[in-house]
């Protein structure tokens, strides 16, 4: 069926007709694709049933689809020819119109050049003020002054040299309101917040329900054995004693109030933005509590404030001094916990300082693992944030930006006012963090009179590093590094 038989006519100019042909071509292509899919489905069914030949009914159906594809394909080819033909003519018409516009512009320019202004500077024969005086005092007997003034008025209204120009720019009030800003709402920039690298290292357990305190029994002193001093003599007998560890259940919560109009009218789901930010800060706050909670004012008792942890002051803030202090901390966990440490945790700035250290021949002391370094102080295994970044003394190194950088000398990272950051060596599985799930609430009733909605998140947690405080070594005395 030809294009004319299908009733395609130009609804307007050639551009409209071209758009109609392009639209029809798309429709025909889709019809042919559907016919091809149906034909392939007939073949696929025969193949799945293990038949090499089509049944009579299937063959008839397949041939029908092939005929449709042939007819529609021929129409697509015809449409392509018509589209290319008309496109060429549209482009040629556009070029002709553009050339005509330039020719007319040139003609107008020539006419304006040839026509002189009525009043010109330096022409003593004609004076605008003189003609104006003649008209005002009725001294224009021959009417030439009146004629010149009228022609001058026509020039002022038409000639570009008499036009008053005002340069517009993008300043608001000077044309700028015509250039609105583009708000890329789908690229909303969220606040950068640290995660909870330290808290994710410790043993995590579900917080039991129905309690506000967790108590764990602990042996204070144990039994004893010893050689028996001969047959039938007394066997060593020492009674054990016990105590308990207490981990109070605390709450971490946050909220944000916002108008219901902001939720309804914002082009983005602004409540999701608020909840994501609250959740991100909740994770960072949990991490800070595990590291440095004071145990009072609603805080858990964090690692740095736990009695009995091992504290080592670095002999010097040098690679040698810190490397030796870490080695000392590792052996103390071995010697007092009788189990191996599992991880070293430090601030990203301290790890960056390690990576910047060079030997006397300006060779780095910490090299990427891919370099297969020999006799290296440490190994860089990944350029990452808040997870394993390398190794020292055979232990993985994890960076955490929530570690304090304001500790004082001997302050264990908890004293404000200084510039020290601690390094922790941990047998992390001996530390326990109990957590409930983070819960979210939307409260429209609290300030309903103001059409205000309150968004909240909260959870319960308890933490203890007191089961084996000797599983924690804190390296102190590390003043701010210089790069």
Give the pLDDT confidence score for residue 309 in this predicted structure.
Answer: 97
Q: What's the CA gap between 359 and 347, in Å, rounded?
A: 23
Give the pLDDT confidence score for residue 4 in this predicted structure.
Answer: 42
Give the pLDDT confidence score for residue 114 in this predicted structure.
Answer: 46
Q: Report the Cα–Cα distance between both ends of the chain, in Å, rounded.
A: 79
Give the pLDDT confidence score for residue 405 in this predicted structure.
Answer: 94
Q: What pLDDT tens digit does each residue of the chain (483 aa) get?
A: 444 444 444 445 777 888 888 888 889 888 888 888 888 887 887 777 778 788 888 888 888 889 988 998 898 898 888 888 888 887 877 777 777 677 666 665 554 444 566 777 666 667 777 777 677 767 777 778 788 878 777 777 776 666 665 666 777 777 777 777 887 877 888 899 999 999 999 999 999 999 999 999 999 999 999 999 999 999 999 999 999 999 999 999 999 999 999 988 888 888 889 999 999 999 999 999 999 999 999 999 999 999 999 999 999 999 999 999 999 999 999 999 999 999 999 999 999 999 999 999 999 999 898 778 888 899 999 998 899 999 999 999 999 999 999 987 544 444 456 899 999 999 999 999 999 999 999 998 888 889 999 999 999 999 999 999 999 999 999 999 988
Of the candidates 249, 349, 276, 313, which has an alpha carbon nearest to the alpha carbon of residue 473?
A: 313
Give the pLDDT confidence score for residue 187 in this predicted structure.
Answer: 83
Give the pLDDT confidence score for residue 161 in this predicted structure.
Answer: 66
Give the pLDDT confidence score for residue 185 in this predicted structure.
Answer: 78
For domain 14-112, give the CATH number: 1.10.287
Give the pLDDT confidence score for residue 225 in this predicted structure.
Answer: 94
Task: Give the dihedral sign, CA 296/297/298/303.
Answer: negative
Claim: this prediction has a pTM higher than 0.75: no
Give the pLDDT confidence score for residue 9 in this predicted structure.
Answer: 43
Q: What are phi and psi of 314, to 5 degrees?
A: -65, 135
Which homologous superfamily is 197-219+241-476 in? Major capsid protein gp5 (3.30.2400.10)
- According to DSSP, the β-strands at 310-313 and 343-346 are unpaired
Spans of all domains in the chain: 14-112, 128-162, 197-219+241-476
Phi-psi region of 144 (alpha: psi -120 to 50; beta: other; left: phi over 0): alpha
């Amino acid at each position: 069926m030809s294009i004319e038989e299908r009733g395609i006519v130009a609804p307007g100019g050639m551009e409209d007709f071209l758009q109609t042909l392009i639209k029809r071509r798309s429709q025909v292509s889709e019809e042919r694709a559907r016919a091809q899919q149906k034909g392939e489905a007939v073949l696929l069914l025969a193949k799945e049933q293990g038949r090499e030949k089509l049944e009579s009914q299937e063959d008839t159906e397949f041939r029908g689809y092939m005929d449709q594809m042939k007819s529609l394909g021929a129409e697509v080819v015809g449409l392509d020819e018509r589209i290319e033909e008309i496109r060429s003519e549209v482009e040629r018409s556009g070029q002709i119109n553009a050339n005509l516009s330039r020719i007319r512009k040139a003609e107008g320019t020539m006419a304006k050049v040839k026509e002189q202004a009525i009043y010109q500077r330096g022409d003593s024969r004609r004076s605008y003020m003189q003609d104006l005086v003649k008209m005002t005092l009725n001294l224009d007997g021959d009417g030439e002054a009146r004629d010149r003034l009228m022609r001058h008025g026509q020039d002022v209204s038409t000639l570009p040299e008499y036009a008053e120009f005002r340069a517009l720019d993008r300043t608001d009030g000077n044309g700028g309101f015509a250039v609105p800003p583009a708000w890329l709402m789908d690229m909303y920039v969220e606040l950068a917040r640290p995660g909870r690298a330290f808290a994710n290292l410790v043993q995590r357990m579900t917080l039991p329900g129905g309690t506000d305190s967790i108590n764990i029994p602990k042996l204070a002193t144990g039994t004893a054995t010893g050689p028996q001093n001969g047959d039938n003599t007394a066997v060593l007998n020492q009674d054990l004693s016990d105590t308990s560890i207490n981990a109070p259940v605390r709450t971490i919560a946050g909220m944000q109030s916002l108008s219901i109009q902001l939720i309804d009218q914002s082009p983005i789901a602004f409540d999701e933005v608020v909840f994501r930010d609250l959740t991100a800060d909740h994770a960072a706050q949990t991490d800070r509590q595990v590291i440095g909670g004071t145990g009072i004012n609603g805080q858990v008792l964090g690692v740095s404030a736990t009695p009995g942890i091992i504290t080592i002051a670095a002999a010097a803030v040098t690679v040698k001094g810190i490397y030796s202090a870490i080695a000392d901390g590792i052996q103390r966990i071995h010697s007092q916990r009788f189990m191996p440490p599992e991880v070293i945790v430090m601030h990203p700035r301290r790890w960056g300082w390690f990576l910047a250290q060079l030997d006397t021949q300006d060779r780095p002391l910490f090299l990427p693992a891919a370099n297969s370094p020999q006799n290296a102080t440490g190994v860089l295994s990944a350029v990452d944030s808040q997870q394993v970044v390398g190794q020292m003394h055979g232990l993985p190194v994890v960076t955490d930006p929530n570690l304090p950088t304001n500790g004082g000398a001997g302050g264990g990272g908890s004293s404000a006012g200084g510039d020290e950051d601690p390094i922790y060596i941990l047998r992390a599985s001996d530390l326990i963090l109990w957590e409930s799930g983070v819960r979210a609430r939307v409260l429209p009733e609290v300030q309903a009179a103001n059409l205000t909605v309150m968004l909240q998140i909260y959870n319960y947690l308890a933490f203890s590093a007191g089961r084996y405080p000797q599983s924690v070594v804190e390296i102190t005395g590390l003043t701010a590094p210089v790069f």
